[in-house]
Structure 1
Amino acid sequence: MRADRLVSLVLLLRQHGRLSAAALARELEVSTRTVLRDIEALSAAGVPVYAERGRHGGFALLPGFQTELTGLNHDEALALLVAGSRRGAQAFGLGSALASGMRKVVDALPESYRATAAGAARRVLIDPETDLLSRRLVAEEVPDTVVAEVRRAVFAGHKLRIHYAAAGQAPKWRTVDPIGLVTVRDRGYLLATRSGADRTYRLSRVLAAEELAEPAQRPDRVDLDRAWQERGTRFRTGGDQVTVLVRVHPARREDLVDTALAVRTEEADADGWLRLEVSFQDSRHAEWALWQLATNAEALAPQWLRTSLRDRAAEIATRYRVSS
């Protein structure tokens, strides 16, 4: 246990540069006294850890102690960092780099660990290509040349020129300042700014990309999680969104909520059904979502949605009417 903690302590200092005893204690889930004892143990073992005093002080490693993973190239190391989801690596064009990097990691393991790790890996399946209903989970296809060019611009901090096909529009070239990359449910997105305004581009709609030599206008640090949440909030509250009042059977509530952009109100009716006010991206999205729920849901408002669903059901009934 202590050996693992000492290794974790060294890795934390390598990754963050300098951390206070309190911060290390929080990360390692131990007391600050235990951290101080571990620091002493590392120093006694020859690890060059030192203390910096003052308001912004803490513990750090001598710069010369910084090392790299032997044998891993840039893309392989990057692939391992996003390997929490194999599909995430695929979305950013790092699938082959991930496979190559993992082979090197396995080869570097001690012989006794190698067999154990290989056996354990065969007992775990992550992100299979189909679900229990044999429905194929298809990730969006992005040409390797395109995603590689986007990646280079993001990591180098250079402007990026993309030929982008927005929904319902003809493709056109635009120059953006790339901020970062995000993958959600097998879809890759480029977060960027254009003329100072936030923009989000789906990678599958980027037809061509060119990294420019000009530096991108962007902050040195970015909180991608926060940036994604803020853009999601703007997406859910803008555009041609529609709000729908709907009654839904409790057993299908999650199906409704999963397709909606947001749930504004919710209450239970006397018969046990739920009455929700939800928002959808547009009228087409609202009609599609309610149609999937069949008789397990009823749109109460707006009237145009009730009429549209009624007419659609009538057309289906006519199509399957028993002939005389």
Structure 2
Amino acid sequence: MGVRGDRLLSLVLLLQARPSAAAPELAERLGVSVRTVLRDVEALSGAGIPVYTERGRGGGIRLLDTYRTGLAHLSHAEGAGLAVGQSRLAGDLGLGDALDTALEKLTGAGGRALRGGLAEGRSHVLVDVDPWMRSGEPVPHLPAIHEGLLRGRRLRLVYRDSRDERETRTVDPAGLVAKAGIWYLVTAEPALLRVARVEACEALPDRAARPPGFDLAEAWAALREGVESRPRQLSVTVRVQPAAAAMARRLLARHLRGPAAGTDRWELAFNGVAHAVGSLIGLGPRVEVLDPAPVRAAMREAALAVAALYQAGENG
């Protein structure tokens, strides 16, 4: 099928996905001019497809609802968008528009019943992939990593680790995982890299060495188990405001070493000072670090830095 044939079929499927659409809207979705859309409508009508235009307010280009092509005719990018499924995550990968178009095409091919079911489902169920008290991390290099992964290329990354040290790594990408709104790159070793910590990405001409029979779900399960079972070496004692106990318990559940019932002093465990500060600073005065001294001092420095930032804004 040629370029125009692809476009004509896409036009039919877009019209099936909605009762009526304006020519400028269709032109934008198809990446052509309004005049081209109108010519395509004439061509479809001449070929016996029941498409017509309605003038006046509320008018547009319409297709008889009883007409079905029986095909979704999805592009490679649209298929990749469907594999991700969730709109925010597809947007991170640069596939947000492709996912929307794929859903429109599938809805069009399914007809009125599928269109109604999709609309009803969207009005009753919302999937929010971000954890409480935190939005998704910026991942500007995720589309490049995803593209290199799909092309089977080795990647040269500038990576900032959890100790804030930068290094250049050459990796064989094996898969991407989104966990609670956080993206991770699984490498062939296997190893786990947090995509938000990637500061530069270059796809190399070398082929990535993805192991034969590699199973991303199995690799992720093993890596996740290693992270979850990793012993936390730093013990931190905090005082929790009684009014904030329920919220703090929910946010710090993974770090708890079991606060005694009826006490405001909790024992927590972290991987290091930076990990502790990053986990506790957002709770503000609701949680006070009592011990050890290095964590208390680091919390004080972080709080002063935030206060100085806003003080400078007031003075400016």
Does structure 1 retain, via aligned residues, the 8 Å contact 2:81–2:95?
Answer: yes
Structure 2 unaligned residues grouped into runs of 5+? 1-70, 312-316
Q: Secondary structure at the match of 2:171?
A: strand
8 Å CA contact 1:245–1:301 kept in 2: the answer is: yes
- Cα distance 1:90–1:220, how it changes in 2: closer, same or farther (>3 A)? same
Question: Residues 170, 182 of structure 1: CA spacing in aligned structure 2 closer, same or farther, 3 A cutoff?
Answer: same
Of the two structures, which has the highest relative contact order with CA contacts closer than 8 Å and spacing of 6 or more? 2
How many percent of aligned residue pairs carry the same amino acid? 24
User: Are 2:214 and 1:216 aligned?
Assistant: no
Query: How far is the alpha carbon of 1:128 from its aligned partner?
Result: 7.5
Out of 231, 236, 241, the residue aligned to residue 244 of structure 1 is 236
* Pair 1:286 & 2:280 matched: no
Total equivalences in the alignment = 236
The 8 Å contact of residues 76 and 101 in structure 1, kept in 2 or not, is answered as: yes
Of residues 179, 184, 195, the one that matches 1:184 is 179
Aligned to 1:252, what secondary structure does the other structure show? Answer: helix
Distance 2:203 2:302 in 1: 46
Q: In the alignment, which residue of structure 1 is the partner of 2:159?
A: 165
2:191 corresponding residue in structure 1: 198
For 1:295 and 1:141, how far apart are their aligned partners in 2?
A: 30
Per-residue CA deviations over 1:31-55 (Å, capped at 9, x if unaligned) read xxxxxxxxxxxxxxxxxxxxxxxxx
Is the CA contact (8 Å cut-off) linking 2:172 and 2:187 kept in structure 1?
A: yes
In 2, Cα distance between equivalents of 1:110 and 1:161: 43
Counterpart residue type for residue 267 of structure 1: P
Structure 1 contact 261–279 (Cα < 8 Å) conserved: no
Q: 1:233 to 1:210 in 2, by over 3 A?
A: same
Displacement of 1:247 in angstroms is 3.3
Q: Distance in 2 between matches of 1:314 and 1:163?
A: 34
Secondary structure of residue in 2 paired with 1:267: coil
Specify whether residues 242 and 257 from structure 1 end up closer, same or farther in structure 2 by C-alpha distance, changes over 3 A only.
Answer: farther
Query: Runs of 4+ in structure 1 displaced over 6 angstroms?
Result: 128-132, 310-316
SS in structure 2 at match of 1:207 = strand
Q: What amino acid maps onto 1:209 in structure 2?
A: E
The aligned residue for residue 94 of structure 2 is 93
Query: AA paired with 2:77?
Result: D
Q: TM-score, normalised by structure 1?
A: 0.57
- 8 Å contact 2:191–2:223 — kept in the other structure? no
Partners of 1:164 and 1:313 in 2: CA distance: 29
Task: Check conservation: 2:139, 2:195, Cα contact below 8 A.
Answer: no
State the alpha-carbon separation in 2 of the partners of residues 213 and 313 from structure 1: 46
Does the 8 Å contact 1:91/1:187 carry over to 2?
no
CA RMSD of aligned residues (A): 4.2
CA 305–125 in structure 1, closer or farther in 2 if over 3 Å, else same: same
